[in-house]
Amino acid sequence: MVIVLQLLVFALTALSTILVVGIPVILASPGQWEQSKSLVFTGAAVWAGLVFATGFFNSLVA
C-alpha cells in the first residue's frame, strides 16, 4: 500500500511540474490556447483526481 502511495505522490509531483511549465508556455504562445484548451483542462482534471486519490490512499496508510 505504501508503494501505491509513493507512486501517486510521484505522479502528482511530475504532473504538477509539467503543468507549471506547460500552461504558461501555452498561454504565452499566440494562437495556442484554442488548440490546447482541452489538453489543459484534461491535465487539470487528472491533477485533481491524483490529489483526491493520494489523499484517499494516505488515509488508508496512516
Please give the Cα distance from 54 to 35 (Å, whole number).
30
Predicted local confidence at residue 11, as pLDDT: 97
Predicted local confidence at residue 1, as pLDDT: 87
Q: Which three cell numbers stand for residue 15?
A: 504532473
Q: Which three cell numbers stand for residue 34?
A: 484554442
**Cβ-contact 35, 3 below 8 angstroms:** no
Domains detected in the chain: 2-61 (1.10.287.740)
Q: Which three cell numbers stand for residue 57?
A: 490512499
**Cβ-contact 9, 40 below 8 angstroms:** no
Q: What is the pLDDT along the chain (62 residues), one digit of tens a residue?
A: 899 999 999 999 999 999 999 999 999 999 888 999 999 999 999 999 999 999 999 999 87
Predicted local confidence at residue 43, as pLDDT: 96
**Cβ-contact 1, 61 below 8 angstroms:** yes
